[in-house]
Amino acid sequence: MPKRLQVYETPEITVTFDPNVCRHSGICVRGLPAVFDVRRRDWVRPYAASAEEVAAQVRRCPSGALQYRMPGDPEPASEG
Ligand code: SF4
């Protein structure tokens, strides 16, 4: 059964994590350990760094398991 998408929000950034896609490369944990720590139940703490730092680290996720949105970002383009 697919695991549920996890959502972690601050007023500045929303981070989503899809456990079905994660390759467990550990890049996020090594890159920004204050935010990403798999030993915690709430393993993503986007408020533990600036939104820019969190976004930069999310972009390094090789699998696309981590995604982010910031307020004011355009909504994902719809079909057509
Ligand atoms: S960087 Fe992405 S693929 Fe690697 S452990 Fe983190 S979430 Fe999973």
Domain residues for the domain of 22 are 6-69
Residue 1 in domain:
no
Q: Residue 80: its pLDDT value, please?
A: 59
Residue 76 in domain:
no
Residue 15 in domain:
yes
Residue 51 in domain:
yes
What is the pTM for the complete model shown?
A: 0.89
* Closest to 11 (Cα-Cα) out of 64, 78, 70: 70
Q: Residue 75: its pLDDT value, please?
A: 73
pLDDT in tens, the chain (80 residues): 899 999 999 999 999 999 999 999 999 999 999 999 999 999 999 999 999 999 999 999 999 999 999 998 877 666 65
In the chain, the number of structural domains is 1
Residue 39 in domain:
yes
Q: Residue 49: its pLDDT value, please?
A: 98
What is the CA(71)–ligand 1 centre distance, in A? 23
Output the residue whose Cα is nearest ligand 1's atom 2. Answer: 61
Mutate to test the pocket of ligand 1, among 22, 35, 43, 59 (most ligand atoms within 8 A of CB): 22
Write the CATH number for 12: 3.30.70.20
- Give the separation between CA 32 and CA 51, rounded to whole angstroms: 12
